[in-house]
Amino acid sequence: MPRIVRPTAYGTPDVLAVTEVPVPRATGDGVVVEVRAAGVNPIDWKLYGGAFHVVDDDHKDAAGIAASMPAIGLECAGVVTEVGAEVTGVRVGDEVIVYPVTAAYADYVTAPATSLLAKPAGLGWAEAGSLMLTGTTAAHALHAAGVGDSDTVLVHGGSGGVGLMGVQLAAARGAKVIATAAESNHALLRELGATPVVYGPGLAGRVRVAAPQGVSAAVDFAGTDEALDVSLELVADRARIASITGSPRRAAAGIKELGYGPGQDAGTEVRKAARHELVRHAASGTLRILIDTTFSLAEAAKAHEAGLAGHAPGRLVLIP
């Protein structure tokens, strides 16, 4: 029987459980994809960690899981196994990247055909299954901050999942990139085209030394007060500061808050379009997708613990 990983309750990673489910069927404009790799992202543990919205109800399914529990796993890649009657241009056997998608910590997912992109032949499964959520987020942030070839952009959290994408995409646009990270990650950031600086007290001064010409835009993938304060200090135009984490201070500062919370810009069309740019860059090698660790489906809780603890640069990926 196909397996799926789901949170059985709100809480810490130990609430994750593998359960067996029937093979899903494709209907209408939908397809079924056999998952080869599913990216792990902070949103996954935030969804059942209670960061957003906790619903507790008595409607339990056959596995004893409340119907209101959130589905986790928001990106994957795999092989098409069935297409709905209304689908054109997709065939059984196609190797695809699926984004957006839900419930991707599984052997099979269903998704509308519009969520599929052809997987470049030379791209590995782990890379293909873990490039979209971070990549589209980074692309949205660079778009919102208006980053182009005449800019010096400060990337907060340049060594993280979103940050590694942001650094490379900004460099590909011709921008000069200053990126914050722990010292142990600086060699990697230099390789990817950025000037690294350590975050922490004195950050603004270090950025001034790294960019004597000034910083024209900032993208915040770290979400700290420091990232906000330094961005406000160094970037003259608040419309050119974008953050992917919301906070009352960010809202009050009048910067661009990107995401799915109240008052945030979801950037649906920008992110949708960015998927094609990401596939092109990944296929040509302009964009490197670094993999830290792969885990089996049964090790999903272990993957989340690694994510929560902080890990080496690169993606955490489930391989069913």
Q: State the Cα torsion 288-286-136-273 to the nearest 10°.
A: -150
Among 7, 78, 161, 320, binds ligand NAP (CB under 6 A): 161
> 189-208 mask for ligand NAP (x: CB under 6 A)?
----------x---------
In whole angstroms, the minimum distance from the beta carbon of 291 to ligand NAP comes to 13
Cβ proximity to ligand NAP, 108 vs 199, nearer residue: 199
In whole angstroms, the minimum distance from the beta carbon of 308 to ligand NAP comes to 9
DSSP letter, residue 5: E
Among 110, 152, 159, 294, binds ligand NAP (CB under 6 A): 159
Q: Which alpha helices (H) appear in the chain, and where do they start and end?
A: 42-49, 125-128, 132-144, 161-172, 186-191, 203-210, 225-234, 248-253, 268-284, 300-309
Q: Whose CA is closest to 99, among 131, 121, 71? A: 131
Contact 6, 109 (CB under 8 A): no
For residues 63 and 313, give the distance between their C-alpha atoms in angstroms, rounded to a whole number: 36
Q: Half-sphere exposure (CA, 13 Å, Cβ side) for 16?
A: 26
Cβ proximity to ligand NAP, 125 vs 199, nearer residue: 199
What angle is formed at CA 134 by the lines to CA 240 and CA 191, rounded to 5 degrees? 80
181 binds ligand NAP (CB under 6 A): yes
Residues 131-150 that bind ligand NAP (CB under 6 A): 134, 137
180 binds ligand NAP (CB under 6 A): yes
182 binds ligand NAP (CB under 6 A): yes
314 binds ligand NAP (CB under 6 A): no
Residues 3-42 that bind ligand NAP (CB under 6 A): 41-42
Contact 140, 221 (CB under 8 A): no
Cβ proximity to ligand NAP, 152 vs 185, nearer residue: 185
Site residues (CB under 6 A) for ligand NAP? 41-43, 46, 134, 137, 156-157, 159-163, 180-182, 185, 199, 221-224, 244-245, 258-259, 310
